[in-house]
Amino acid sequence: MRNDHAFTLIEVLIAVLIVSLVFGLLLESVTQNLKDLGRSRADSRAAQLGVDRMRELKLALEAGEKLEDGVQEGVFAEPDEDMKWQITVTPQTLPLPADYPGELPPSPLFAKANEPPAAPQAGLEPPLRLVQVRVWTGDEDPESVEPLVVLLAAPPDPTKLQQQPQTPNAQNGQVPPGTQKPATGQKSKK
């Protein structure tokens, strides 16, 4: 006699197959989520280390250190020895507008359209530099990492600032800071 309340071997095998498929899919999903979480933590750590590296660069510049053009690379100290950094410094010029009249020579910050930037003069540092800081884990390509970017302008030369004329510009009526425009048409009261 056959018992109608019991499962057959085929029914049990089918149930085990379904349960194992569901657990397999769940395990794959959990594994992918853990990988994404690890990648997110590494990206967050890299961003923080990049900001820290940028602060160190700022402090070095404020202390009077010179910023060398080119690429510098290195590895962080413990506990971040699995992270690498790269600082790229390149001189930059900005394009002049197409309708620039050319009556006055442009600042060294600018280059005329379709002209290569002028080579820096000996003894003068480029007035504008592009600084890119990249931080990545050891198994990544540095070019695939989005850099932190800063555009640095060289401080003005104090001797050139002192040589500038301190008279008002008659062409546009502007007065240099710290001077007063002469009053016209006013009578003094006695």
pLDDT in tens, the chain (190 residues): 556 677 788 999 999 999 999 999 999 999 999 999 988 998 899 889 999 998 998 888 888 888 888 899 888 888 888 889 999 988 877 776 777 766 655 565 566 555 555 555 554 555 778 889 999 887 788 788 888 888 777 665 566 556 655 544 444 555 445 444 444 444 444 4
User: Can you point out the beta strands (E) in 126-165?
Assistant: 128-137, 148-153
The number of domains in the chain is: 1
Q: Looking at the domain assignment, is residue 16 inside a domain?
A: yes
Q: Specify if 17 maps to a domain.
A: yes
146 found inside a domain: yes
Give the model's pLDDT for residue 167.
Answer: 46
Q: DSSP assignment of 32-65, as one string? A: HHHHHHHHHHHHHHHHHHHHHHHHHHHHHHHTT-
Q: Which domain holds residue 34?
A: 9-156
Q: Tell whether 167 is covered by a domain.
A: no
CATH of the domain at 131: 3.30.1300.30
Q: Is residue 177 part of a domain?
A: no
